[in-house]
A and B are shown apart, each in its own frame.
Chain A
Amino acid sequence: MNAPLVRIDNLTKTFVAGAPAAIEALTTQIRAGQVTGLVGPDGAGKTTLMRLIAALLTPSAGRIDVLGLDVTTQGPAIHDTIGYMPQRFGLYEDLTVMENLRLYADLRGLPDGERAATYERLLAFTDLARFTDRLAGALSGGMKQKLGLACAMLRSPKLLLLDEPSVGVDPISRRELWRMVYALIADGVGVVWSTAYLDEAENCAEVIVMNAGRVLYQGDPKAMTAQMAGRVFQAHGAGEERRALLARALADPAVVDGVMQGEAIRLVMAEGCPPPSRETIGAPPQTEIAPAPPRFEDAFVAALGGIPKRALSAPGRRDFSNGSVAPVEAKGLTRRFGDFTAADHITFSIRRGEIFGLLGPNGAGKSTTFKMMCGLLRPSEGEALVDGLDLYKAPSAARAKLGYMAQKFSLYGDLSTRQNLDFFAGAYGLSGARRRDAVAHAIETFDLAPYAKTNAGELPLGYKQRLALSCAIMHEPPVLFLDEPTSGVDPLTRREFWAYINAMVGRGVTVMVTTHFMDEAEYCDRVALIYRGQAIATGTPAELQASVRTPQRPTPTLEDAFIALVEARENGRKEAA
């Protein structure tokens, strides 16, 4: 076993006297030569812990030793020996790549004699040598992340702290970063990697799983996952009925967790319960239930006590199952900005009661496509149709058919829950008894009554999300557009959100989602993979996975499929060039 780099003993951090502590009575150790994952949902206290280790915050109680130095009294000495990359990478966007590197080399006191060699090594390592004169602000998310890492590594630190390095970074760049980090730990560097993505935990030698300022689990993630052996199952073949089946299965007290996985549903059983059968979960006869290898997320949700068993009343009362026209259609949608074509003849048609995903890395053109579909951006060519209505020929009639939930929840933070609901009801043209009825219904279905008088800005994340959704569907639209609805949201809140969406889809509501998260994509019936402005592949998640199946990779994940399809496209371009 390696000697610990960081010793944390009974650490507590409170920001406001009387408020709940951000970190409570935490004791742990971080070792050299491995990646320690700091895993937990938003607000778990990950960033606070990172800043405490980096001697940027002072502990309220307890003690932290970093490389034998006390953070409270020996901050400057710690800053001399660690590398720290904050969220958003800490780069000066109005300086070039090289100027950023030079600045941090000066600040960290890199000796002149070592500079040329260090720059060369880091630029090669991060593959940024071609971009030294580019402004950091003009780099893609993945490149910014690499530059941030290079700046943190200028003096070969013994401890490298990376605070949510993979936020806003596409899966391909994410893999490259992991490759770089593995190269570092081979040299004996200790790396702390904080993340809200549970799938990243499986890449770590050790994880510290946090929730609400406390440690839920520390140790080998595989050991935590292994606890779930024999408790995870997949049900295939339920077809159109699978959403209803998931809802039924979750009603069984023996089922602690259940999610959609493309055409299958994934079920996690409570400890000691027998495997699910068609009878116990009410599955149709053609369904096949088979054990599945557990994932870290299964263990995480089980450690949190499983999915909340709250009776869901279905949001919305109208049924849209019977309609003749395609609810959403894009016909050759093209948008040019000057010479640049952000969206290039994108065509798809979404069926009624379907969840359709626009999947792609940042800057691929999915937001442009999404904005054209919402009627927020005029296409240079092509048509965007909602319920057969052209968003540019009949804008108000078409928009009345769709509900839209933005990524950052467009709520008024200083209005209460009820006032937000009242406002959005008014904005959708409801008045008098109809408005009162719609608001009362939203409060009832989304269980908002306990927070009716709380300002939206102060709501817990899960309630904020429910409120945003209830505002978006106040006018009971047949079509719902979601922009990265559950990014950075903890797994329980995410499950609850999708339970509402599934209930709506069950009554014929059509949903379009943009996302670069594979988890969200797995809730989709079909996805279109957008890359460099074009839809390079469209199909069910299973079809996309099957299309990249090779002998070396018999069971590709959706993320594998995404990366393989993008790389194939890139290789095709290079050959053509």
Chain B
Amino acid sequence: MNGTSGSMRRIRALIVKESLQVARDPSSFVVAVVLPALLLFLFGFGISFDAARLKIGLVLEDPTPAARDFATSLTNTPYFSVREATDRRAFVDDLAAGKINGVVTLSGDFAERLARGDTAAIQLVTDGSDPNTAALTTGYVQGAWQAWRAQRAVGAPAPPGGIEVQPRFWFNPELESRRFLVPGSISLIQMMIGSLLTALVVSREWERGTIEALLATPVGVVEFIIGKLVPNFALGMIAMMVCVLASIFVFGIPLRGSFLVLTLFTAAFLAVALSLGLLISTVARTQFLASQLAMLVAFLPGLYFSGFLFEIASMPAPLQWFSTIVPAKYYVRGLQTIFLAGDIPAVILPTGAVLLLMATILFAITARNTKQRLD
């Protein structure tokens, strides 16, 4: 028999075998389908850094028309749930008890201050015991205040003096954290399928002793590896499709870049994840060890150092240096760009190149460490 056609036939047989096993094995199904769905929904719905409906106490010491107008604008935004009173003492206990996130006070001379163009026309007291929420509350109240001022300024003469900072958030105007959490979680899912599943299916062959029977047939190690990679690559791509569809239709996240670029970019990342999985499997010969190693080497760095949950710039320098070797960091950066900004070559090309380089290095190490025999 012709050597090449024999080899193709063996690879095809291994791929068929692997696919049947994936289809029948609950653990592959869990890693490839249940886990991604769970992660996606956890990050999409469960975790959110947005404070929808901050609870605000509003004190109107003198309900003048101007004060009433600002109060209405606060109440009408979706960000606040507002309770009104005429004395700030009404809210002191609630703020201390954490029942409300902040107290906005419009003093009795609000109208005069406003007329003078005084910058400190309103006062905001927040609960500093929860700094994150306090900062959010401050930001949103400031935003609401500036929006209201800007509205009133239309047609009126510009208030004298002072430069105002008017922050604008491009690409994610509503600052919805879901929009960057979902692309981030796609990277985790790809890592799980690429590394964890690959390491698991190879170590399973060791654990069940089937690798011995395989290696005693004409199957070569390269054929064996291709037989493992192809189904998992396909699985990763399917998971990506599911994630992208869910992102667009369930979470309402725009895909501003092209699908082709997204696919190619994901393929590059999957190549890294698969090589990493293979590398793990050259060391781990039990499924337990394989899953522990995959968690440690692939999943956790992807979670902490990809920049989608924790700001890398605010980490200590050594950790920032470490993050440069975490492949997920480059994938997340590219993915967020493709989703929220579009196909920006200045981002996609360098990050894609880093991913391909990483895949090459990992694959070379794996190829050198993979043994043709049992010892």
* Pair B374/A93 contact, Cβ less than 8 Å: no
Instruction: Determine the chain B residues whose CB is within 8 A of the CB of A111 once the complex forms.
Output: 1
Instruction: Determine the chain B residues whose CB is within 8 A of the CB of A230 once the complex forms.
Output: none
The closest CB in chain B to the CB of A13 belongs to B375
Instruction: Determine the chain B residues whose CB is within 8 A of the CB of A90 once the complex forms.
Output: 209-210, 212-214, 216
Given contacts A86-B209, A90-B213, contact A106 B373 (CB under 8 A): no
B217 within 8 A of A: yes
Interface residues on A, range: 35 or more
Instruction: Determine the chain A residues whose CB is within 8 A of the CB of B215 once the complex forms.
Output: 56, 79
Among B9-17, B177-185, B297-305, the stretch that binds chain A is B9-17
B208 is contacted by which of A57, A93, A106, A109 (Cβ under 8 Å)? Answer: A93
A111 to B5, CA, bound (A): 12
Instruction: Determine the chain A residues whose CB is within 8 A of the CB of B219 once the complex forms.
Output: 79, 107
A57 to B218, CA, bound (A): 15
Contact residues of B between 1 and 41, Cβ < 8 Å to A: 1, 6, 9-10, 12-14, 16-17, 20-21, 24-25
A92 to B207, CA, bound (A): 12
* Pair A58/B373 contact, Cβ less than 8 Å: yes
B307 within 8 A of A: no
A87 to B210, CA, bound (A): 9
B372 within 8 A of A: yes
B17 is contacted by which of A58, A88, A103, A108 (Cβ under 8 Å)? Answer: A103
Total inter-chain residue pairs, C-beta < 8 Å: 89
Instruction: Determine the chain A residues whose CB is within 8 A of the CB of B21 once the complex forms.
Output: 92, 94-95
Given contacts A106-B13, A108-B218, contact A57 B375 (CB under 8 A): yes
Contact residues of B between 197 and 253, Cβ < 8 Å to A: 208-210, 212-220
* Pair A94/B20 contact, Cβ less than 8 Å: yes
The closest CB in chain B to the CB of A86 belongs to B212
Instruction: Determine the chain A residues whose CB is within 8 A of the CB of B208 once the complex forms.
Output: 88, 93
The closest CB in chain B to the CB of A92 belongs to B210
Given contacts A57-B373, A106-B9, contact A80 B213 (CB under 8 A): no
* Pair B216/A54 contact, Cβ less than 8 Å: yes
* Pair B10/A56 contact, Cβ less than 8 Å: no
Most chain B C-beta atoms within 10 Å of own C-beta, residue among A76, A90, A108: A90
* Pair B12/A106 contact, Cβ less than 8 Å: yes
Contact residues of A between 339 and 374, Cβ < 8 Å to B: none
B209 is contacted by which of A54, A75, A76, A88 (Cβ under 8 Å)? Answer: A88
A87 to B208, CA, bound (A): 10
Most chain B C-beta atoms within 10 Å of own C-beta, residue among A107, A108, A148: A107
B373 is contacted by which of A15, A56, A102 (Cβ under 8 Å)? Answer: A56
A95 to B20, CA, bound (A): 7
Across chains A and B, which 4 residue pairs bring their CB atoms closest together, nearest first? A90-B213, A106-B13, A84-B216, A86-B212
Given contacts A108-B218, A152-B213, 20 further A-B contacts (CB under 8 A): A54-B216, A55-B216, A55-B373, A56-B216, A57-B375, A76-B218, A79-B215, A79-B217, A79-B218, A80-B218, A85-B213, A86-B216, A90-B209, A92-B21, A93-B208, A94-B25, A102-B13, A106-B9, A107-B218, A111-B1
13 CB contacts below 8 A, A to B, read: A56-B215, A56-B374, A58-B375, A76-B218, A76-B220, A79-B215, A80-B218, A82-B216, A84-B213, A84-B216, A107-B218, A108-B217, A108-B218
